[in-house]
Every structure is written in C-alpha cells, then in structure tokens.
C-alpha cells in the first residue's frame, strides 16, 4: 500500500469503503490492517499532493472502459486482462454470445506470408488471448443455451423486420434460371460455391480435373478463368476468408493452392499417405491451416505455407473421409466417412492439434457425403446445429448438445439419395426470419427447400431443370442467387423473385 499523506477525511474513508464493496462484489479479497497497527506519521499537507498508486473507486458500469484506459496507458499489466474479461461478460449479457462466422472475420488470419505465396492481401495476426477469450464465449453459448426452438420465434419482431415480414414460401420463390454454365459438361460437378460475402463470384470443381471461376455480374455472366493442373478429378475445394486463395483436393492425391485472382497454382502438396484426397476445409480462425481427408481413412491438418502436416494434427476414422465441417469459432471439427460414422474433434487453436471427442453412427455402411455446421447463437435462437447428407434417402438435421460435439437428431427430411455425393447447405440469412430453411440436392434431379421447424409437409419450394442428380448447391451472401450443379456437369444459377 502507498504511504498515507495527512489525516484521512470522512469522504476518503467513504471512498475506501466503496472500493472494498466493489472488490467483494468481484470475489476479490480486501487487504485488512491489524487493529493495533501504529498510526501513520503526521506529514504536512501539500496543496497539490496526489496518490498515484491508489486507484479511485469506479462505478461497475464504467469498469471496462476504465480498465481499458489503464491498459493503454501501461499503468497495470493485469488491467488488460480485467478489461477483456469484463467487456466479454457485459457484451454477452446484453447481446448474447457471438458465434456467426461473419462475427469472427476481424479475428481471422490471412495466409501466412501472403507475398511468398503470390497472393494479394495483407497479413493479420491473432493473439492466443483472443482465441482463449472466444473459446470461453463459445462454451458459454452451450452452457447458457435455453431449451426450445432453434429459430427465431413469432415474437422476434425486430429480427423479422430485418428480413421482411414474409413467409418462407414467399421468400424462397424463384423467378427462373438466371444463367446456365456448361464448361464442365459430360463430367460431374460435385461442388459449387459462391465466394465469401460476394454476390457474383462463383467457383465450380469438376471430375474433369479443373476448377472454373465465374463472374455473374456485370452482364453477361462469363467464365473468368479455368484452373488447370490436377491430373484427375477435383473432389472438393474451399475459398479462403478473403477470397484471394483457393484450396483444392483431387483424386490424384494432391492438394493445390491457387491464387484466385490470377488463376495460378502457388503450391502443390502431396497427401502424406499417398492416397486420394476427397475433401478439404479451411480452419475458419486461421486460414493458414487446412484440414484434408483421404481415401486411407485419415485426416490431416496441413500448413499450406510450408506444405507440411501439423504435428498432432492427424487422426484416423473408420472409413474413407468424405465430408468435413468446422463450427464458426473453429474449435469443433466434424468429419464423416463412407462407413456411416460422424466424428467430432476438438481443435487446439494454438498448436493445430486434433483431439477425438465423440462418434455418432448414423447408419452402418451409409456414406456421409455432406456436413454443414451452423451456430445459431443469438437471443432468439441458441441451438448450434449440423446438417448431414447420408445415403439413406433422407436429409438429417442434428442439434449439437454440448461443447464436445455430441449430436441429437432433431428432424429428417425425405429426399432421394442412395449413391451420389449429394450436398446441402443452410440458407445464410435464416437466423433473421421466423422459421428457417435448408437447401439440398437430390438424385431425382430437383433442388429442395425445407423448413426445419415443420415436422410434416416441410417442403417450401422445389426447383426443376437439371437432367441428372443434383450434387452441389450454394447461395450467394444476400440469397438473391442460388447455384446448383449436377452429375452431368451442368451448373444452373437461379434468380430469386424480388419482393
């Protein structure tokens, strides 16, 4: 404690009493002095004497700001941690824990040393403290999640107003085909995907060994570039968060890193096991890391800057790894195989290490062809969910019930899927309107929209126009356009009706 200057006034004693109460409210112990302690020496009071080492009591509502100011000024090394903790608690109490992927863009890493990779962009860093803070907030989302609906209720008027007060059927009415791409005709296109937060940039991968990047506006729509290099079919690809890099996996046993703007291959990385690569996904909090699954039942975390797998970042499944998906904070990874199992893994943000957590057997021998995770963590809807395609002639919706990825079946929807690698997605704007919609391909050549809250008659819309099994579907960021691909290489872009 600092030395006393002069005799304390009643006002000062009252201030110290307030400070003691505040410390007790925060669960901290107050230092007590013996009752027999000698009185401090009397010192002549100076006109402008101050006690820099003795903090003034601060109202609890102003504690985060005060702690932040002290941290910036370098007054207390522990003030920054106190500020972050109080700030997170206040924000979580007022707005609910964060989880949507767009909320984490500020925390995400770009590719490490982007210049060395030949990609445009700048490097951003993320402190380990930020990872730990976000992990705590994510755990709070599970711990504080109330039971009930996974979507906004009818009383969520503000959220409904943001998306328009329309029914799901009205909202997902389509005016017809906007454009048809046939550059991959005669070979299946297993996946189409719009770039992140982009209305008009679309990529497609094909079993002809190429990836095409298409621009839908300004008119007319056109193929901007075709990425060539794989010697066999491309099984999967993923956009980086900043859209400057594409990662692709192929049946030729290699992963390639592409500069999306130039269409050039930056790096080729062989599979560590020399097997066919079947799926890939970026780590959402660190795009320098990519997880790939192969035909020898293994998945690996790969550093795309060095081309090496991460130590402790490998694990074995019961079958060929066909589908991967992270939750939005990047702490949980799900992987599905061709034996009907879905595994959850805990991902260590600091090291890239994978820890196997849970296993769910959907059905023995049924291939898991698509996994899509969605964290609906908001005041209206707090149930993280997983959408799964399995070769059961059903689309399955699971609720994530704990922070280790335990799954509980919520709904199933009838589709036709017995052998093709059909994919499905969550609609990107679903958390802002009453009801929630998912979209899936089907082997009956149709695109289906389902309301996940309906136990019966859940079909909201059905699009017809393909001449083969529909494999891939993707919405752009504002849901004005939907792209779908089929087993004969046709890609159709659908335009939604404007209300």
The DSSP letter of residue 429 is: T
HSE, side-chain direction, 13 A CA sphere, residue 397? 25
pLDDT tens sequence across 376-401:
633 455 678 999 999 999 999 999 99
pLDDT score of 10: 47
What mean pLDDT is predicted for residues 295-322? Answer: 97
What mean pLDDT is predicted for residues 436-451? Answer: 95
462 close to 181: Cβ distance less than 8 angstroms: no
pLDDT score of 454: 84
From residue 485, give the alpha-carbon distance in Å to each of 230, 236, 260: 20, 13, 21
Q: What is the CA radius of gyration of the chain?
A: 27
> For 88-144+271-414, which CATH superfamily applies?
YVTN repeat-like/Quinoprotein amine dehydrogenase (2.130.10.10)
What mean pLDDT is predicted for residues 30-39? Answer: 44
For the chain, the average pLDDT equals 79
Strand partners, 473: 484
Q: How confident is the model at residue 88 (pLDDT cuts 50, 70, 90)?
A: confident
Q: Is the pLDDT confidence value at 58 over 80? A: no
Q: Name the most confidently modeled range: 49-58, 84-93, 236-245, 382-391.
A: 236-245
* Residue 255 CB partners (closer than 8 Å, separation 6+): 247, 248, 249, 268, 269, 270, 271, 277, 280, 290, 292, 302, 304
Q: Is the pLDDT confidence value at 301 over 90? A: yes
HSE, side-chain direction, 13 A CA sphere, residue 320? 14
Q: Is the pLDDT confidence value at 78 over 70? A: yes
Q: How confident is the model at residue 76 (pLDDT cuts 50, 70, 90)?
A: low
What mean pLDDT is predicted for residues 215-227? Answer: 96
State how far Cα 358 lies from the chain centre. Answer: 20
From residue 443, give the alpha-carbon distance in Å to each of 421, 459, 467: 9, 16, 10
Q: Is the pLDDT confidence value at 143 over 50? A: no
Q: Is the pLDDT confidence value at 22 over 70? A: no
First and final C-alpha spacing in the chain:
67
pLDDT score of 298: 98
Q: Is the pLDDT confidence value at 9 over 80? A: no
pLDDT score of 383: 77
Would you kindly state where each structural domain of the chain is located, as residue ranges?
A: 88-144+271-414
pLDDT score of 170: 78
Give the residue, 350 or 6, on which the prediction is more confident: 350
Q: How confident is the model at residue 316 (pLDDT cuts 50, 70, 90)?
A: very high
pLDDT tens sequence across 151-166:
555 555 555 555 555 6
DSSP 219-254: SSPEEEEEEE--SS-EEEEEE-TTSSEEEEEETTSE
pLDDT score of 165: 57
What mean pLDDT is predicted for residues 281-285? Answer: 97
CA distance 332 to 284: 11
Give the residue, 309 or 122, on which the prediction is more confident: 309
What mean pLDDT is predicted for residues 469-493? Answer: 97
pLDDT tens sequence across 172-209:
888 889 999 999 998 999 999 999 999 999 999 999 99
Q: Is the pLDDT confidence value at 91 over 90? A: no
Q: Is the pLDDT confidence value at 308 over 80? A: yes
From residue 41, give the alpha-carbon distance in Å to each of 3, 16, 44, 49, 258: 10, 20, 10, 16, 74
Mind spelling out the 3-state secondary structure of 167-212?
CHHHHCCEEEEEEEECCCCCCCCCEEEECCCCCCEEEEECCCCEEE
Q: How confident is the model at residue 99 (pLDDT cuts 50, 70, 90)?
A: very low
Q: Name the most confidently modeled range: 109-123, 219-233, 372-386, 446-460.
A: 219-233
The greatest distance separating any two alpha carbons of the chain, rounded to the nearest whole angstrom, comes to 96
């Amino acid at each position: 404690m600092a030395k006393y200057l002069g005799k304390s006034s009643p006002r000062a004693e009252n201030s110290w009493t307030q400070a003691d109460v505040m410390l007790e409210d925060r669960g901290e112990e107050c230092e007590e002095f013996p009752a027999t302690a000698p009185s401090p020496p009397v010192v002549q009071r100076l006109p402008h004497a101050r006690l820099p080492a003795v903090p003034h009591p601060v109202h609890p509502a102003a504690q985060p700001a005060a702690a932040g100011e002290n941290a910036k000024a370098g007054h207390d090394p522990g003030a920054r941690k106190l500020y972050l903790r109080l700030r997170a608690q206040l924000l979580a109490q007022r707005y609910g824990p964060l989880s949507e992927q767009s909320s984490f863009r500020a925390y995400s890493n770009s590719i490490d040393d982007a210049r060395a990779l030949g990609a445009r962009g700048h490097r951003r860093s993320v402190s380990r403290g930020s990872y730990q803070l976000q992990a705590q907030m994510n755990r709070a989302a599970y711990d504080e999640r109330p039971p009930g609906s996974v979507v906004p209720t009818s009383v969520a008027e503000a959220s409904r107003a943001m998306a328009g007060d329309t029914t799901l059927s009205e909202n997902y009415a389509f005016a017809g085909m906007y454009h048809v791409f046939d550059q991959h005709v005669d070979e299946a296109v297993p996946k189409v995907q719009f770039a992140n937060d982009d209305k008009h940039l679309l990529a497609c991968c094909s079993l002809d060994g190429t990836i095409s990047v298409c621009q839908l506006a300004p008119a007319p729509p056109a193929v901007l570039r075709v990425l060539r290099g794989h010697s066999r079919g491309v099984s999967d690809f993923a956009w980086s968060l900043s859209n400057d890099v594409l990662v692709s996996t192929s049946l030729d046993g290699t992963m390639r890193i592409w500069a999306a703007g130039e269409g050039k291959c930056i790096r080729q990385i062989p599979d560590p096991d020399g097997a066919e690569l079947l799926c890939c996904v970026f780590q959402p909090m660190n795009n320098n890391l990519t997880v790939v699954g192969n035909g020898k039942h293994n998945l690996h975390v790969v550093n795309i800057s060095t081309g090496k797998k991460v130590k402790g970042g490998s694990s074995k499944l019961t079958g060929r790894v066909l589908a991967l998906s992270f939750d939005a904070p990047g702490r949980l990874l799900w992987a599905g195989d061709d034996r009907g199992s879905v595994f959850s893994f805990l991902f260590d943000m600091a090291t890239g290490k994978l820890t196997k957590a849970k296993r769910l057997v959907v059905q023995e021998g049924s291939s898991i062809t698509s996994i899509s995770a969605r964290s609906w963590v908001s005041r209206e809807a707090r149930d993280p969910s997983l959408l799964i395609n399995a070769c059961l002639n059903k689309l399955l919706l699971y609720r994530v019930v704990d922070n280790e990825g335990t799954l509980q079946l919520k709904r199933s929807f009838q589709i036709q899927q017995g052998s093709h690698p059909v994919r499905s997605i969550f609609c990107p704007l679903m958390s802002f309107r009453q009801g929630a919609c998912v979209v899936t391909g089907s082997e009956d050549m149709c695109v289906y929209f389902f309301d996940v809250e309906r136990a019966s008659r859940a079909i909201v819309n059905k699009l017809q126009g393909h001449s083969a099994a529909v494999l891939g579907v993707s919405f752009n960021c504002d849901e004005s356009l939907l792209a779908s691909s089929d087993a004969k290489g046709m890609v159709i872009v659908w335009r939604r009706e404007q209300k």
